[in-house]
Structures are given as C-alpha cells and as structure tokens.
Structure 1
C-alpha cells in the first residue's frame, strides 16, 4: 500500500537518489546528458537537506521511499515531484501531485505554480495545470535549463481531506 508522509532527515539520501535517477531516466532525450549530470549528480548539500526536511513529502511503498514531492505553502510552489524509475508509470507522481494540491488548499493557497521540465509538461497538463511558453529555469548550481512555467487554481473540491502530521494514504 502506498502512503505519503512528511520527509525527515532520514529521507535526504533517498530523496537525492530518486531525484538523480528519475532525472536521468525521464529527462533523457529532452536535455543534453551533460546538462542532466551537471544538474543532479554529486552529493546533497546541507542547504538541500534542510529543504527536504522542511518542505518535502515522500511516497512509501512497502517500507521503501519511491517518490518525492515538495510544496512551499507560502507561495504555492510545487517542486521535486520525482519517482524511482522502477516505480514510474504506476500513478505515483499523480498521487503526490493530488496530495500537494489538497495540502495547499488546506493552507489557503488559491493558485499553485511550478516549473515543469520539457518531458513533464504534458503530465501536468493532464492534471489540469496550464502553461505552454518555454522559459529558463536556473538551478542552484547556476545551470540554465528550458522549462515550462505552469499554474493551477485550486478549487474548493481539492479540499477532500484534512492532512495529519504523520501519514497519508495515497
């Protein structure tokens, strides 16, 4: 059974590994391999670890972290929706996105935003997000990548449940 829970310090390594392997698997063919390596290879910084602990949620399947997602409630920004390549195509990313949308609604967010990779933009559109113009995403390492800024207004129907602090069924 899939569950979604708040990430903690023990999830930093898994979140980094999922990000790295998901980017290399899903973004290949949309970006140069060298750019992908520059973007996600290496080791997590202390700053990144703090962000994981503060803003990330993880999807757990049979005790193993298989997906991530991040919501900054102050501005409605979604980021870091990544799924282990071995678990891609099972609806895990969609479940995480729905969870983050409901969580945002519970925090009073009216409009959410994200910067989609070129390969992920069709997925977000299928989930009701809008945005077509290609822009530039600047990574914390100074790399510039093409992205599609997208947004979604959160309807009252997104408020389907009240999240608890411990665990959420996906």
Structure 2
C-alpha cells in the first residue's frame, strides 16, 4: 500500500493550520492521561514556538494538503512551550556541550497510531545530528511519554509546570544520545 503522507518544513503560512492541529491534539490525546482541569491548563503551557519555523527546524506531515502532524527541533535554549510561554530563551546552544531540543510534537488524533510521531522524531533527530548535536532533549507530556520511550528516550526528571491559575500539569524531561549506531 502506498504511503499517503508527505512532509516538508513549515512556513508562517501554516500557522492557522498548526494552531488547529495543536488544539485538536491536546483535546484528543491528553484527556486519556490527565484530569479535565489539567488538560485545559495544558493549553497555557503548550503551543508552537514560531522561532522554530523562522529557524527552518519545524516539520509538518501532510495527508494531501492537510497538515496532520507537526514537530521540530531547535538549536536554541528554550526547552518547551509556545510563543506565549514564560522563560523562553533565543540563546544558541553549543552542539559540543549541549543537547538539541525536540519541540512541539503534535499528531492529529484522526491520524494517530500510523507512525507519524516516529517519522517526525526521526526527521528532527537526523537534522540535529547533521547540525553536530550528539544528544537530544525534550519535555514530554504524559501522552507523549510512551512514544519517546519506545524511540529510545530516557526520563531524566519528572516535574509539574504550574499554570498561572495554579494547576499542576505533569511533564518529564527526557534525553537520548544521537551519536550512537541506530
């Protein structure tokens, strides 16, 4: 059977479609792992960092013309969150000392369990490796944790991000070596 999916780098023209995808993914995936209050609070801490698009490090997967998955990597210090998230840093990472960041991974629930998360992760790891990074680091939601573990990421630290409304959303920092044989 032919693979119906294609991929490309995202452009700023994709922003509306990416926002819809992210909202659909949060609403469709997180309720299986979080309380309704935590799921709603996740919109406050998650989202797209448009710096990834500007840097040319954010991939989208399409089914025809529809964006059904997205995810990126970064050579900048910000570990997670969107444009609206506090604590962002545009500082460039040193590939010899610091890990690349895997960021803003979303898959439409209508296209879940088809290998799209793995595909985006592989695209990101390949690009980060080509940029000289030997490690990758990410912050996983509870919904993303099984995928990242299956792809070789190890939990470094579990924590909660407390939103402005005081809701604690559980997350995990994970990492993986990129310079080992696959």
Find the aligned partners of 2:49 and 2:148 in 1 and give their Cα distance.
24
Partner of 1:103: 127
Partner of 2:148: 124
- Which one of 62, 65, 68 corresponds to residue 64 of structure 2? 62
> What's the CA shift for 1:91?
0.5
> 1:91 is matched with which residue: 89, 109, 115?
115
- Report if aligned partners of 2:42, 2:169 keep a CA contact under 8 Å in 1: no
Of 90-99 and 15-24, more deviation after overlay is shown by: 15-24
| Secondary structure of 1:13 counterpart | helix
Q: CA RMSD of the aligned region, Å? A: 2.6
CA distance in 1, matches of 2:60, 2:162: 24
Map 1:21-100; keep pairs closer than 5 Å: 21-40=24-43, 48-54=49-55, 55-73=57-75, 74=93, 75-100=99-124
CA offsets 1:84-140 (integer angstroms, 9 cap, x no match): 111111111110001100010000011100011112212111101111642124679
CA distance in 2, matches of 1:137, 1:155: 30
1:149 matches 2:173: yes
Partner-residue secondary structure (3-state), 2:113: coil
1:19 CA drift (Å): 1.0
8 Å Cα contact 2:52-2:73 kept in structure 1: no
Gaps of 5+ in 1: 159-170
Q: What's the counterpart of residue 9 of structure 1? A: 12
* Structure 2 residue runs without a partner (length 5+): 76-92, 94-98
Q: In the comparison of the two structures, how many residue pairs are matched? A: 154
Q: Which residue of 2 aligns with 1:162?
A: none
Q: TM-score with structure 1 length normalisation?
A: 0.78
Q: Give the whole-Å Cα distance in 2 for the aligned partners of 1:63 and 1:128.
A: 31
- Give 1:154 shift: 0.3
CA distance in 2, matches of 1:142, 1:68: 29
- TM norm structure 2: 0.73
